[in-house]
Chain A
């Protein structure tokens, strides 16, 4: 039996385990795993959708550029949650171990574990890409914050507009007068 056939047969099982593992990093993992509606459960739904798509790409040795879309779907969420960077990215790795475990338990297919090098290398590339995307999301987050500060009411209330400067100057000159 060939590896691609094993991937096809076990896709659902592997992805389920992978999704479950990824969602177990949340405090309320049972709801995130159980609810399948993507709009009622955005974290669970997007994680499931993205990992399923990513597995398809990893299994067929696709161009790593194609990893970006599903990885972005998942990293954009994890980048703003309370994870250390390693834990945000870590679950992408997990598919290596899950796949090995599932295949090795199947007596007819356990020999295929030896052929996983290309697949695992593709996972490594995906992890590296995930880290890049994690950083991009963090940077975007800070940009959004800066943008808001620049355009928000700070301009009117806290910036160095002439009226505000006047206020500060008066306060300072009053202090100077008091000190003398």
Chain B
């Protein structure tokens, strides 16, 4: 800028230059260290949680200790560097995809501006290409001839504590949403690069509590909140009572019932926290409406797989719990509720980890006769697929006017949309339960959907500012339809979304509710023998 006064304006008088100021980078990205301060990192995992996980069969979570990212000394093991490099070598040998992702990027930049963290922060290290480069630079240095010979000239660098800290900062500023990979001409799945970074960090005891505590809870009691079977049962019973109070319909549900046709598994947040509770009430009404022979399980009481955010061993174990329970109960197939990463694990990893689940049958709806061949191997059907099929076959009595209070838009949750292609089914359902709903702009929906900003275990309150930044692209698109079409409800098919979009809306678009698609189905269902109260706000009505 020509005017010197303007230059002065861009500096903070009190604190010196602002952190975000400096249009032209004066240093190479490799020379800019990661600096941790309150609000820009999630709390490290509690010592006892790491120790517990490490004590479990087939799991490896070493170096449990008290530490803080703000300290210079992270109390890493003495041979931390060897551990990391050995870990990387093992993974390059084990996962062919990782080797390809390390080698084939041509740095075209197609992904660079597609990441919601980059768009919200403007931090170049949040460009997916550069985030991957954090690992790739070390890979080049130790695993490629060019890197060994040419060093920094070939984009290689040595693994140092500073690099490790950078890994920690940026692998936890990625929600593994995979929007970037939609645009990659080589199909690099940058989410898997983040997954590898996180795996490597766990080898030296670097992880965050909001992931490892839920993961250890899931391992211990079957759900991420660590609640025991009787509590889980009580809560579902409460919800059934609520449904009966509102609609006059008695819900006949069961737990751990051997011989049921279907095992129903949903994220535990649907059973315990608003606004997921209303989605769970929607499930109860739907299954009652069609008289499905199904059971809940108090052991497989969590769909969400927090293992996905840690390492492949834990992911496999938590996924295996669902299938072990299905086998124990002898069900024919599984219906899964509105969850995000559960579906990514089921569709992309389950088959090679724990599958194929041949002890069950290829899912066939006993109500409509439809066979779900897409789930022939995993034997697990998404509630939206199941519901859309019921609607298509005219098996549901629906009254759209019961959702008259709702003017909705639909947020494609990252994992169902991009990892399993569940894009049209929820829309088909919305068409049949709502008089009117609107789409957000084209480049923010379907495969190009923007993440809620807090997935992969980042929905913890100590990084609220960071979450509001990364959620900006999604909130911005919601604001557009609120301003243009008076939208008052953001519907979605993911439990993490239901929790995180609520906070996101409270900051960016106050007054916009967040709900599950199944809640809207529950609102609209006309039940046999119902004695429905005046429900101005559907299942949310206080009576």
| Chain A residues close to B by CB (< 8 Å) | 21, 24-29, 31-32, 35, 37-43, 45-46, 76-77, 80-87, 90-91, 93-94, 97-98, 100-101, 137, 140-141, 143-145, 147-149, 151-153, 156-157
Pairwise interchain contact B443-A141, C-beta atoms closer than 8 A: no
CB distance from A79 to the nearest CB of B (A): 9
Number of A-B pairs whose CB atoms are under 8 Å? 151
Q: Which of A81, A137, A143, A149 has the most CB of B within 10 A?
A: A81
Q: Which residues on the A side are within 8 Å of B507 (C-beta)?
A: 76, 80, 137, 140-141, 144
Given contacts A27-B122, A82-B121, whether A37 and B443 have CB atoms under 8 Å apart is yes
For B122, the chain A residues whose CB sits under 8 A away are 26-29, 32, 43, 81
User: Can you list 26 residue pairs at the A/B interface with Cβ under 8 Å?
Assistant: A21-B6, A24-B23, A25-B10, A25-B21, A26-B20, A28-B118, A28-B124, A29-B23, A39-B476, A40-B113, A45-B476, A83-B20, A86-B14, A87-B18, A91-B10, A94-B6, A140-B507, A141-B464, A141-B507, A143-B506, A144-B506, A145-B464, A148-B503, A151-B273, A151-B274, A152-B499
Set of chain A residues within 8 Å of B480, measured between Cβ atoms? 38-39
User: How many Å lie between the Cα of A96 and that of B23 in the bound state?
Assistant: 21
A152 partner residues in chain B, CB cutoff 8 A: 273, 461, 499
Q: Is the CB of A86 within 8 A of B12?
A: yes
- A50 and B23 alpha carbons, distance in the complex (Å): 21
> Does B469 sit within 8 A of A, measured CB to CB?
yes
Give residues 1-37 of B contacting A (CB, 8 Å): 1-3, 5-6, 9-15, 18-23, 25
B120–A43 CB distance below 8 A: yes
What range describes how many residues of B lie at the interface? 35 or more
Return chain A residues, CB-CB under 8 Å to B11: 87
The yes or no answer to B444 lying at the interface (CB within 8 A) is yes
Contact A94 B468, beta carbon cutoff 8 Å? no
CB contacts under 8 Å to A, within B99-142, are: 112-113, 118-124, 127
Chain B residues numbered 458-490 whose CB sits less than 8 Å from any CB in chain A = 461, 464-465, 468-469, 472-473, 476-477, 480
Nearest-neighbour CB distance to chain A for B509, whole angstroms, equals 10
Give every chain A residue within 8 A of B20 (Cβ-Cβ). 25-27, 81-83, 87
A70 to nearest B CB, angstroms?
13
Cβ of B227 under 8 Å from chain A: yes
Report if B320 contacts A (CB, 8 A). Answer: no
Residue in B12, B119, B272 whose beta carbon sits within 8 Å of that of A43 in the complex: B119
Q: Which of A87, A91, A97, A98 lies in contact with B12, CB distance below 8 A?
A: A87
Closest 6 CB pairs of A and B: A84-B12, A26-B122, A87-B18, A24-B23, A42-B476, A28-B122
Instruction: Give Cα distance in the complex from A134 to B40, angstroms.
Output: 20
Q: Is B508 an interface residue (CB 8 A)?
A: yes
Q: Nearest Cβ in chain A — how far from B135, in angstroms?
A: 21
**Docked CA distance A143–B510 (Å):** 12
Tell yes or no: B77 within 8 A of A by CB: no
Q: Once the chains bind, are B22 and A27 in contact (CB under 8 Å)?
A: yes
A151: nearest residue on chain B (CB-CB)? B274
State in angstroms the CA–CA spacing of A143 and B468 once bound together. 13
With A27-B25, A91-B9 already in contact, the answer to whether A43 and B3 are too (CB < 8 A) is no
Chain B CB within 10 A, most for which of A43, A82, A91, A100 = A82
6 more A-B contacts (CB under 8 A) besides A27-B25, A43-B120? Answer: A25-B23, A27-B124, A32-B122, A40-B113, A90-B12, A140-B507
Q: Name B506's closest neighbour in chain A (CB-CB).
A: A144
The answer to whether B113 and A41 have CB atoms under 8 Å apart is yes
Decide if A77 touches B472 in the complex (CB within 8 Å): yes
A123–chain B nearest beta-carbon distance, Å: 12
CB pair B10–A97 under 8 Å, yes or no, is: no
Q: State A93–B276 Cα separation when bound (angstroms).
A: 45
List, in ascending order, chain A residues with CB within 8 A of B510's CB: 140
